Structure 1
Amino acid sequence: GLAPYALRIKVGGVYRLMHNLSIDKGLVKNTRCLITSIGVRLICIPLLKQAIDSQQYEEEEDILIPRITFMAVLPSSHYTLVRKQFPLAPAYATTFNSCQGLTLDKVVINLTCPVFSHGQLYTALSRVRHRDHAVLQLNPGDTEITNVTFHKLLI
């Protein structure tokens, strides 16, 4: 996809990569990153490595992210839109599946639309360190949520 037209970035912001930059270093599409400094043509992010037998991450080295060229062919046209921009998009919110494997300090889970797949509710609720730090957003008047399970999968 094409990067957002106006990208507002700030130091300390959480963003996701929109392009594979280095598969060897784990800088692949949808990887979350934290910006530590911003230059005119480069953004600095720490490359994080996981501590052994732990969910803690340690800073390994700083990675410089350059602006890259995004191209999109306009529908029903012979024109191609070309834009040079940082390959980042805001990542303060994520999907159930994208948060799998993360451990979060606080979460707000939007359940105004029903959970539709096996294990999604469990995945979302089990990401937070302490249950007091999970907030569920429900439709007005709702007091229950349905945990979708496919019993054939639970062998």
Structure 2
Amino acid sequence: MVHKHGFEALDRPLKDIFRSASGASSELPFGGKVIVFGGDFRQILPVVPGGSRQQIVNASLSSSYIWRNCRVLKLTKNLRLSTSNDSVEIEKTRDFAKWLLDIGEGNVGGINDGDAKIQIPEDLLIKDSSDPISELIEFVYPSLLDHFNDENFFHQRAILAPKNDVVQEINDRLLSVFPGEEKQYLSSDSICPTEMVNENLDDSLCSPDILNGIKASGLPNHRLVLKVGVPVMLLRNIDQKSGLCNGTRLKVVSLGQRVIQVEIISGSHIGDRHYIPRITLIPTDKKLHIKLQRRQFPLAVSFAMTINKSQGQSLSRVGLFLKKPVFTHGQLYVALSRVTRRDGLKVVILDSDGNLSNTTSNVVYKEVFRNL
């Protein structure tokens, strides 16, 4: 998901540094140092806010001048999918892995201008249900009220959706039934000092009601409601060495006035406990007409999360809720490929009329594979 400019920004100073050190006019990429890139172009490409298909593809590493000096080494075995010694189970896993690759490469359904309608296998669907959302929640979090205190219950479970508003809806629903006393944290919002010198700034935009109502990607809400034991997600890098990175899933251990104690439940630091303070956050969303700064805990409830946030995680139970179809390259592939077993995945698809369906859109920009 890294923009090609990030790699190019590293390439140029390394060339300068090693050219100066040797005195030679070497133009070797990265100053002659070997760099290993890890990734999968079937997954979500660099995020370009409001970008067109061409802009997103052009932001990828395969569109950089660096790419012509790269040698592609392909991995052929899906190590996320676990297999048993049973020959039938091995065959099912192999077929599932191939189906995932076909979805990632746009070989299912026939891609037309980047979009295709594909049919999800019957055994992966929740269908013929009067309340499919409740059934999906029960699949991912079975007997929640009986198991919420289990040490590893939330470690490898999540409900995924393409957009934040659907994620918020599911999180609110689960938080309301989660046992325990709610604690509410309200943010302190203000205009950035750099904006105050702007003579054309409309004073009505600076009122607390307006600032408190602003919601932006990566920014915690003004009103944050939590309970002890609830899974949450960290929205900022705080201490990468200790595993406190943007996207890390945590479980609330205790709720204080000035700090929240959490336990890491994803990544390589599972079980570590830390205290999260309030920090001042400034959104980077260019669509906002004013520059806001919000002082709040950088946390969001994460019974459910967006597909983009789930990238890179391995989960034993995944519920995919497609109230609206995916909207960019690789989202469907990423969502379906988070599971470690085929029987750990269930999908709910709603059509434009809100009825259950067995087909959904898959978006693949095939031109990103052209130079591979």
Distance in 1 (alpha carbons) for counterparts of 2:338 and 2:231: 17
Structure 1 unmatched ranges of 5 or more: 51-56
Q: How far has the Cα of 1:107 moved from its partner? A: 1.9
For residue 297 of structure 2, the aligned residue among 65, 86, 94 is: 86
Distance in 1 (alpha carbons) for counterparts of 2:320 and 2:228: 26
TM-score by length of 2: 0.33
Distance in 2 (alpha carbons) for counterparts of 1:83 and 1:98: 21
Q: How far has the Cα of 1:129 moved from its partner? A: 2.7
Classify 1:38/1:125 alpha carbon distance in 2 versus 1 (closer, same or farther; 3 Å): same
Q: Which has the higher strand share?
A: 1
Q: How far has the Cα of 1:70 moved from its partner? A: 5.3
**1:108-147 superposed matches below 5 A:** 108-138=319-349, 139=351, 140=355, 142-147=357-362
- State the partner residue of 2:366: 151
Distance in 2 (alpha carbons) for counterparts of 1:149 and 1:70: 34
Q: Which has the larger radius of gyration?
A: 2
Q: CA RMSD in A?
A: 3.2
- State the partner residue of 2:222: 5
**1:99-110 superposed matches below 5 A:** 99-110=310-321
For residue 42 of structure 1, the aligned residue among 259, 263, 272 is: 259
Classify 1:96/1:18 alpha carbon distance in 2 versus 1 (closer, same or farther; 3 Å): closer
Is 1:24 matched up with 2:235?
Answer: no
Classify 1:8/1:144 alpha carbon distance in 2 versus 1 (closer, same or farther; 3 Å): same
* More RCO (CA 8 Å, sep 6+): 2
Taking only the aligned residue pairs, the percentage that are identical comes to 36
Q: Which has the higher helix share?
A: 2
Classify 1:151/1:66 alpha carbon distance in 2 versus 1 (closer, same or farther; 3 Å): closer
Is 1:15 matched up with 2:232?
Answer: yes
Distance in 1 (alpha carbons) for counterparts of 2:343 and 2:278: 40
Classify 1:71/1:117 alpha carbon distance in 2 versus 1 (closer, same or farther; 3 Å): closer
**Structure 2 counterpart SS, 1:40:** coil
Distance in 2 (alpha carbons) for counterparts of 1:131 and 1:149: 22
Q: How far has the Cα of 1:71 moved from its partner? A: 7.1
- Report the count of equivalent residues: 144
